[in-house]
């Protein structure tokens, strides 16, 4: 197939591009590099089946040649990024989604929306299955991401119902692995960066809030299964193994051999207390389940961080990193 991947130079998007090429597909990656990095796709640029276009999918763009599938991953996805880029996040979820849907419609292509567990907000139902409609604060500090993805889901299903676009929706839970940015604000990358630097690991609240962590290789298998499917979803993609944030911190300290302590700060507004996916629908509909244990995935991620240049990129410097020359 020829697959167009928006957000193709991001953490998850670059892994998806790599996996598609590995199995024999050709890929056109689109990215404005607001949170993605060109270094993530640098090894792919030598492959004649890979093309990269620096563009903002919330603005008009063109893709030449035929298209068999469209995967829409473009959006700032970490709290640091979507609070730094609130209007851009809303644009990616609204105009960006519609532009990608129009591309799929023109080519009669499969369309896969990378939605998020954030559509469930701070859930009042636990664990979360796809029938749960969520508990989201529409005017809170996280709303630009939560509501952008909720709108993107509604828009995608409207295109499926009214224009018969072959739409599929996946709701992605916490994902981690190589190519995470040190200062992206995600808990795994923050803990690893702090542990390797010998700094206290920063926990919000008392660390009893829970998350479910899925290794990036497992997540990419779910995304490719959805691209190959014709099912609409939505499907939860995540690891149903639930861990407290404090347990994660202690595991990172153990794996890194760090002597870092723990530092506790006030819980941010609207931060979800518990998060765990029900994945029975993905098991049945996609034949998918996560395979990589948390400790194994964390060891791979720590090894990757150790192999990187010592000076990490801070969010304020992101706009200067990875820009095409």
Which active-site residues does the annotation give?
A: 145
CA atoms of 200 and 84, how far apart (whole Å): 25
Q: Which backbone phi and psi does 27 adopt, to 5 degrees?
A: -135, 135
Spatial distance between the Cα atoms of 291 and 214, rounded to a whole number of angstroms: 9
CA 294 – CA 306 distance, rounded (Å): 18
Contact in structure between 144 and 131 (CB atoms under 8 Å)? no
Which among 201, 198, 200, 199 has a CA at the least distance from the CA of 188? 201
SS3 214: strand
User: In terms of DSSP bridges, do strands 210-212 and 242-244 run parallel, antiparallel, or are they unpaired?
Assistant: antiparallel
Which residues make beta-bridge pairs with 203?
264
Inter-residue contact 10 to 35 (CB < 8 Å): yes
Q: At 180, is the secondary structure helix, strand, or coil?
A: coil
* Residue 8: C-alpha distances to residues 31, 54, 116, 201 (Å): 6, 10, 17, 31
- DSSP letters of 141-177? TTHHHHHHHHHHHHHHHHHHHHH--EEEEEEE--EE-
Angle at 260 between CA 259 and CA 266, to 5 degrees: 160
Mapping DSSP to helix (H, G, I), strand (E, B) and coil, where does residue 128 land? strand
Supply φ then ψ for residue 232, to 5 degrees: -80, -25
Neighbouring CB atoms inside 10 A of 75's CB total: 31
């Amino acid at each position: 197939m020829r697959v167009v991947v928006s957000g193709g130079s991001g953490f998850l998007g670059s892994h998806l591009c790599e996996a598609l090429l590995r199995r024999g597909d050709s890929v056109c990656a689109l990215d404005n590099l607001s949170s993605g990095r060109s270094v993530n796709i640098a090894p792919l640029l030598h492959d004649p089946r890979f093309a990269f276009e620096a563009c903002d999918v919330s603005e008009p763009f063109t893709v030449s040649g035929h298209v068999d599938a469209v995967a829409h991953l473009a959006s700032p996805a970490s709290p640091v990024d979507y609070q730094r880029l609130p209007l851009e996040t809303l644009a990616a979820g609204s105009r960006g989604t519609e532009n990608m849907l129009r591309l799929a419609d023109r080519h009669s292509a499969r369309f896969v929306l990378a939605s998020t567990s954030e559509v469930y907000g701070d859930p009042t139902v636990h664990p979360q299955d796809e029938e749960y409609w969520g508990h989201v604060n529409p005017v809170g500090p996280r709303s630009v991401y939560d509501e952008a993805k909720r709108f993107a889901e509604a828009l995608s299903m409207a295109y499926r119902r009214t224009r018969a676009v072959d739409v599929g929706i996946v709701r992605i839970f916490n994902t981690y692995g190589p190519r995470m940015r040190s200062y992206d604000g995600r808990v795994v990358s923050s803990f690893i960066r702090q542990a390797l630097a010998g700094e206290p690991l920063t926990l919000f609240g008392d660390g009893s809030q829970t998350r479910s962590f899925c290794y990036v290789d497992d997540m990419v298998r779910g995304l490719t299964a959805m691209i190959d499917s014709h099912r609409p979803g939505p499907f939860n993609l995540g690891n149903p193994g639930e861990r407290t944030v404090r347990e994660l911190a202690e595991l990172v300290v153990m794996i890194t051999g760090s002597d870092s302590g723990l530092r506790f700060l006030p819980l941010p507004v609207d931060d979800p207390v518990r998060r765990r996916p029900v994945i029975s629908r993905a098991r049945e509909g996609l034949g998918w389940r996560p395979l990589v244990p948390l400790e194994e995935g964390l060891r791979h991620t720590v090894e990757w961080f150790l192999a990187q240049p010592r000076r990490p990129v801070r969010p304020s410097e992101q706009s200067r990193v990875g820009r095409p020359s």
